[in-house]
Structure 1
């Protein structure tokens, strides 16, 4: 039996850097020693509320210091965390609570409007964090925790025990709970902290990614704590707000998704004061090369693009300084992980393909989840012979760089020809009048599917608003006859998921409604 707990990430940071600031949010600054003491106090409070080792406890909280306090408090109590993202309806939250078997919901005061009815519908107790009106009859975790002594140590767990249960976006059917073990998440945080980029405890990271999401949780929070960095939390991201806080707090590390980099570039166009970003990391969705190049030109920083999924803790690959970076790729597999390309049309076995061939990206290693909770059939379909099938199409070069072509389900088949939306998006993203673009397939009576580009035009009047005909002609010049979009739709915004990834299924519904 191997004893390991994700709680040890914060415990060890508090031992090494007790007086260093761990977290800064708009309201407070908290040292590592204070944060670990508060987490152990919350753990004692949760025990007082009946939480036992092995239970699942749901956490619904914005990007505030309350999140890591409660997150590590749950882990210190020996329970597993079920993060609840903030955009869900009460009905959707209740589904997560029931499906995960959560015994308690911790809902921040700012989220009680949806959290309280969800806990009621699921038939489980509710406790809150943060200030609530005196006439609201709900227990506060702070008050319960203050009535008992903090736990002296975190509760021990086995390495393969559940630590966090992430719910997938549910693009096909009901969302599934991916169970990540302590081993999965401790190793992923450690590799991200010490093996992927040249960072140290003297760096300051911006925590703008939602902490309820796997990327923000592992890369921005856990890996930063593993190093001993200070994390600046930004509850609501905008380009200007991010630049302001990055300058104020001397932020050197930025973790973001492509839409965040687009927003930073838009904000930077109207400013002369820019932060000195030393390391920039992108994940969550494919980063257009044009955005990478613009960011380098404006901020002087190379973006290290990576790749992963909830089921892989999440990081599986990243561009790494010791391998060199290659724009348009997601780099090499991280330490201890194998990433290969398998024949996509073969679903009941893994047939690996040679370098350069297109297929499905498959992953094996310490980062692969232990399974979908309560869904052995879905787990068996996703993990074959130890390889996790990602559903993403890509290639691997002879020297190990992984390139993502597209999601299998996003493939557009026009007149019998396969068209990969990302290739079209890369071309249109270079047009000076385009801020952001998503390419989808829409029904067509002749070709089966037609290619449509949904575009957010550039706000800068000098760039000139592009016309539909102009963008179609531009694409025709750079793409094969079967690839360029025949339709262009202009919008003010694109539907985004909790990780700020474009929801293409929802976009197709909106466009074709």
Structure 2
């Protein structure tokens, strides 16, 4: 439309560098953000910091490969928090907190922030994937997906939905949204709870502030209007 390409990139304040899907053929709309290059090394690891094979999701670790040292060009450290700095740099690699996957060619794909991963019955669920699915429904204006506690499954998927103007926010719509996800995602990723809200707290750049949706310590399942959809989630 404007005569120039939009390039998907990954970067953090701490790293001082970016990775970018800038070489042809580019993988547009796949959440690809490039391969390590120019001296920046990357690994994808599990919770024990062990390397994962291709196409497995894990945390992205990065470092500088030059003789200047692994931290060359990165941030100096977290202000007045040397312990957090060393934790982020454990074993000589910077732990980004981003969950990604890497294909056999080395291309990296963004999944979600590690803190946004929902752990349900041993399955890792990216909140961003469920949000993208719900956002595609015509009755959804805005959505935030987060983890609700569950006595059996550890955590359950909960969606806080701002409905489109004119949509009736009731149990029927909640069931429709759950079925919408069940038809497009693995059954365990569909929301087990839906709460319709008038608005979601956002930053000045319109990024949803999930930590402000519920006060610390509140069980979101107990919020008036929360609709239980867990019975619809069945393995087929």
TM-score after normalising by structure 2: 0.74
Task: Tell me the residue number matched to 1:481.
Answer: 187
How many Å apart are 1:309 and its aligned residue?
Answer: 1.9
Equivalent-residue separation in structure 2 for 1:306 and 1:426 (angstroms): 19
Verify: 1:345 aligned to 2:47, yes or no. yes
Equivalent-residue separation in structure 2 for 1:310 and 1:331 (angstroms): 17
3-state DSSP class of the match of 2:8? strand
Deviations 1:162-212 (A, max 9, x none): xxxxxxxxxxxxxxxxxxxxxxxxxxxxxxxxxxxxxxxxxxxxxxxxxxx
Deviations 1:210-230 (A, max 9, x none): xxxxxxxxxxxxxxxxxxxxx
Contact kept? 2:148, 2:155, Cα under 8 Å: yes
Task: Tell me the residue number matched to 1:377.
Answer: 83
Verify: 1:307 aligned to 2:10, yes or no. yes
Task: Tell me the residue number matched to 1:181.
Answer: none
3-state DSSP class of the match of 1:474? helix
Contact kept? 2:118, 2:124, Cα under 8 Å: yes
Equivalent-residue separation in structure 2 for 1:367 and 1:511 (angstroms): 42
Contact kept? 2:30, 2:109, Cα under 8 Å: yes
Verify: 1:394 aligned to 2:100, yes or no. yes
Deviations 1:27-77 (A, max 9, x none): xxxxxxxxxxxxxxxxxxxxxxxxxxxxxxxxxxxxxxxxxxxxxxxxxxx
Task: Tell me the residue number matched to 2:117.
Answer: 411
Indicate which of 57, 68, 73 corresponds to 1:358: 57
3-state DSSP class of the match of 1:395? strand
3-state DSSP class of the match of 2:129? helix
Deviations 1:108-157 (A, max 9, x none): xxxxxxxxxxxxxxxxxxxxxxxxxxxxxxxxxxxxxxxxxxxxxxxxxx
Verify: 1:277 aligned to 2:2, yes or no. yes
CA spacing shift, 1:450–1:356, aligned 2, 3 Å: closer
Give structure 1 regions of 4+ aligned residues with deviation exceeding 4 angstroms: none
Unaligned ranges ≥5, structure 1: 1-275, 280-301
In the alignment of these two chains, the number of paired residues is: 209
How many Å apart are 1:439 and its aligned residue?
Answer: 0.9
CA spacing shift, 1:354–1:448, aligned 2, 3 Å: closer
Highest relative contact order (Cα 8 Å, sep 6+), 1 or 2?
A: 2
3-state DSSP class of the match of 1:453? strand
Task: Tell me the residue number matched to 2:27.
Answer: 325
Equivalent-residue separation in structure 2 for 1:356 and 1:497 (angstroms): 33
Deviations 1:213-262 (A, max 9, x none): xxxxxxxxxxxxxxxxxxxxxxxxxxxxxxxxxxxxxxxxxxxxxxxxxx
Equivalent-residue separation in structure 2 for 1:362 and 1:407 (angstroms): 13
Verify: 1:447 aligned to 2:150, yes or no. no
Q: State the Cα RMSD in Å.
A: 2.8
Verify: 1:437 aligned to 2:146, yes or no. no
Contact kept? 1:343, 1:359, Cα under 8 Å: yes
Equivalent-residue separation in structure 1 for 2:191 and 2:201 (angstroms): 20
How many Å apart are 1:367 and its aligned residue?
Answer: 4.6
Equivalent-residue separation in structure 1 for 2:140 and 2:8 (angstroms): 22
> By percentage of residues, which structure has more helix?
1
Deviations 1:79-135 (A, max 9, x none): xxxxxxxxxxxxxxxxxxxxxxxxxxxxxxxxxxxxxxxxxxxxxxxxxxxxxxxxx
How many Å apart are 1:306 and its aligned residue?
Answer: 2.0
Contact kept? 2:149, 2:219, Cα under 8 Å: no
1:17-416 equivalence runs, <5 A:
277-279=2-4, 303-313=6-16, 315-333=17-35, 335-346=37-48, 351-365=50-64, 367-416=73-122
> By percentage of residues, which structure has more strand?
2
TM-score after normalising by structure 1: 0.37
Please tell me whether Structure 1 or Structure 2 has the larger radius of gyration of its CA atoms: 1
Contact kept? 1:436, 1:457, Cα under 8 Å: yes
Contact kept? 1:442, 1:508, Cα under 8 Å: no
Unaligned ranges ≥5, structure 2: 65-71, 224-236
Equivalent-residue separation in structure 1 for 2:80 and 2:38 (angstroms): 28
Equivalent-residue separation in structure 2 for 1:332 and 1:443 (angstroms): 35
CA spacing shift, 1:496–1:421, aligned 2, 3 Å: same
Contact kept? 1:307, 1:330, Cα under 8 Å: no
Moved more, 494-503 or 382-391: 494-503
How many Å apart are 1:412 and its aligned residue?
Answer: 1.6
Task: Tell me the residue number matched to 2:210.
Answer: 504
